[in-house]
Amino acid sequence: MQNTLPRHLHFIGIGGTGMRPLAEIALSQGYEVSGSDQADSKSTQALTQLGAKISIGHEEAALPNVKDAVVIVSSAIRDGNPELFAAQSKGWPIFHRSDLLAAFMNGKKSICVSGTHGKTSTTAMLAHMFEAMGLDPIAAIGGELVGRGTYSLRGKGEYFIAECDESDGTFHKYNPFVSIVTNIDLDHLDFYKDLEGLKEGFLNFMKKTDPEGWTIVGWDNLAARDTAHLYEGQRLSFGTRIGSEVRGLKCKNEGPIAHYEAIVDKTMVQDSSPVVGKHSFQNILCCLAVAHALQLDLHKAAAALRTFPGVKRRFTPIGSIAGIKIFDDYAHNPGKIRSCIEGARAAFPHDRIIVIFQPHRYSRLETMYNELMSSFSAANEVYVLPVYAAGEVSQREFTPHSIAEDMSRESHVSAVAYDSDTLALSLQQSSPTVLITIGAGDVSQLSLEWKERLDEQAAQEKGALSRSKT
């Protein structure tokens, strides 16, 4: 399909996490790229610097003045979108972003990363590992690599590493050489209805794997394990559970550095990586499993992971001021939230853990409310923001106060509606503290605001101390 694409690609919603890496890759391959988004952002600015022509607002005027183009949309773009309607009126082909990703992967050995949580971090870690080993991969990642300012790698090698979204079933469009299922947990029930439907979706994804390739499965996850037993192709498992073919033996954090041991076939691997939490150890084991499946040097693979820079908004350090360490994380479903907070607890076992939580989407609250409410038990305090609706509406009332009450009961944690003055009083305590902003909306802005506020406070206290000495 890729060879038949027009040279102009127009992305509606170009700044989205699933769209930006494709736009970056398209620009690197010589396509003319234009697009639109609802608002200017760091993503639209970065793509403009790479050569994309971007308009703000979804109107007919945003379409490029060219004879023909392929229009790229995500599942978030609805039929009533005026820009989409205008493109359809012109007779231009409309591709879902998954169609373009499939076209880009054509002719490459694709490594497709799926799973209810862990996709972005695992994809980024694999991409870094392959690049550090000199394999020059292409990679499409649903987050920004720290220090790179990019959502993609744009190499010339034979491997294409891609985060493949299961939320709308579009991951069935790919034909991976290596398919990865990190885990299967309750999510996307608006599409799959129940856990059995979700497992069936992942099994169908596994069945798309090249017969000469591998399916790699997180063996510590019961639903993933049960699903993998139904797959008849070549399979490799990773985890800490006995029976995992790539088995993690131990992992201990010293602050933000994980020191681990794993056995791969008969080879012992002992190394470290700058990550926190059990979920990050799972990502390391997954990377070692991919290296083993592709017969790459395991020790070189582990050495590459020592320099993994991380992904923005995945337990990203924002600053450390007067005993308060601030982090930001994109976690928004129960598994991600629990893993994030438990990871912080493992890295900083003697610190208070305070969370600022922004619930994401009414549909997620409606379909997994109880699971969400019980995901915060490793925290000491939680401050709940209003729901980030992402355009959704709900017949039920979800207020910060009601959510905090339910969270206090289910997670046995001190939870209240967010109030900056109340949080400020708590942060005045002298005990070491980890402050984490959690959510897929704009809650990350608060991590920056609190860093600035605490920096100013520390500077004022330093100034007052200096004046008192004189």
Q: Which two tokens stand for residue 294?
A: 């592709």
227 is a catalytic site residue? no
What type of residue is 336? Answer: K
Contacts (Cβ under 8 Å, ≥6 apart) of 460: none
In terms of Cα–Cα distance, which of 303, 306, 251 is closest to 274? 306
**Cα angle vertex 135, ends 131, 136, to 5°?**
65
Which residues on adjacent β-strands are paired with residue 449? Answer: none
Note whether 34 and 95 are within 8 A (CB). Answer: no
Residue with tokens 């799972």: 282
Q: Which of 163, 166, 381, 410 is catalytic?
A: 163
120 is a catalytic site residue? yes
Q: Which of 119, 325, 336, 451 is catalytic?
A: 119
Q: In 142-207, which residue ranges form alpha helices assigned H by DSSP?
A: 189-192, 195-207
163 is a catalytic site residue? yes
Distance between CA atoms of residues 420 and 158, nearest Å: 51
Which element (helix H / strand E) includes 392? none
Q: In 219-354, which residue ranges form alpha helices assigned H by DSSP?
A: 222-228, 278-293, 298-305, 334-347
Q: Which of 44, 116, 120, 122 is catalytic?
A: 120
Q: Which two tokens stand for residue 71?
A: 């229009």
Q: What is the DSSP letter of 172?
A: G
Distance between CA atoms of residues 48 and 54, nearest Å: 7
Q: Which two tokens stand for residue 255?
A: 């602050």
In terms of Cα–Cα distance, which of 436, 367, 354 is closest to 396? 367
Show which residues are catalytic.
119-120, 163
